[in-house]
Amino acid sequence: MTHPLVEVHGLKKTYPGPVEALRGIDFSFARGEIFALLGPNGAGKTTTVRILATLSQPSAGRALIDGHHVVNEAPAVRRLIGYVGQASAVDERLTARENLMLQGRLQGLAGGVLKRRVEEMLSLIDLAAQADRPSGGWSGGMRRRLDLAMGLIHGPRLLFLDEPSAGLDPESRAAIWSEIADLAHGSGMGILLTTHYLEEADRLADRVAIIDRGTIVAIGTPEELKSRIAGDVLIVEFADPADLAEGVRRLKTNEAVRDLRSSGRTLHLTVENGAQAIPVVMTALQGVAVVSISIQRPTLDDVYLAATGRTMREAEAGIGAENSDSAIRKGEAA
């Protein structure tokens, strides 16, 4: 029987203060799988990666990489992993080829093996034509692709990608996503991806663990997670905040609406059937200035909201569930 590539059991990390960065998390995944840790900044994603990459020690619990204990067998673990952190490791004074040669030597490669791997990586990230140009003037997307190649130069069994597309423009982000997907599913290598981008987790990950304040609150494939939110979501945009407040007053006791939450001038209504609910909702809102209404299938943000009581955007802003604009529930006072 084969064991998982990554096994995490009861992992905890407490910093002086005390600050509980991880509160006993559990997950595992196999070779060839892209596993995403999805959560806002400060949720515990990078702390988890640093422990698994042997850069930090846990306060409790254990973690295994391909059967090797990350604390007791750290040298063996380091030979198995590649790490692409949030900060670029590219030396901008060097060319792409020189960066890859340097990284390969640091990983123990030499001679013909090193030269072959450098050429393979330049081809993989489509930078062969730029290989001998200094990387200092490159775009963020090109540098990120070089970072990716540097993490892969030694052929790791597990690649850590910590917020790989943060700060990139949409076009560069899409290119990185395509390369990541091809890597995992074409090589059998496992990838642990951390992200706060909902679309990134939805598009790339085979499975997603939603992490909030050091706790994994939901885990499964993106479709499994979204299927737990039964029904449809109606998105109703109002002309101004006063109209939204009136909409909340009218709809919070409407039998067609199971749940509702607000954000800015928009109201999100959870209903059983969107097409059937629209006429009911519009009748209830007669005389209120509605800009638009649309149907949306549940998203990972809806999953996050259901699990934590706040949206990802609110979590990024440090807004607790008790103060969330979304904290409107059926039967509450206006």
Beta strands 34-38 and 190-195, pairing class = parallel
Query: Do 34 and 187 meet the contact criterion of CB atoms below 8 Å apart?
Result: no
Write out 202-216 in H/E/C secondary structure: HHHCCEEEEEECCEE
pLDDT exceeds 80 at position 2: no
Q: What is the pLDDT of residue 316?
A: 84
pLDDT of 291-304, one tens digit each? 999 998 888 988 99
Same domain? 157 vs 255: no
Nearest to residue 277, comparing CAs of 268, 288, 266, 265?
Answer: 268
CATH of the domain at 188: 3.40.50.300
pLDDT score of 284: 96
Q: Express each pLDDT in 14-38 by its tens digit.
A: 999 899 999 999 999 999 999 999 9
Percent of the chain with pLDDT over 70: 95
* 119 and 266 inside one domain: no
Q: Hey, which bits of 5-151 come out as E strands?
A: 6-15, 19-29, 34-38, 60-65, 68-69, 81-84
* Between residues 54 and 170, the one the model is more confident about: 54
Q: Is residue 316 part of a domain?
A: no
What is the extent of the structural domain holding 109?
Answer: 6-223
Count of structural domains, the chain? 2
Do 176 and 238 belong together in one domain? no
**122 and 39 fall within a common domain:** yes
Same domain, 269 and 165: no
Q: What is the CATH number of the domain that holds 234?
A: 3.30.70.920
251 pLDDT higher than 60 = yes
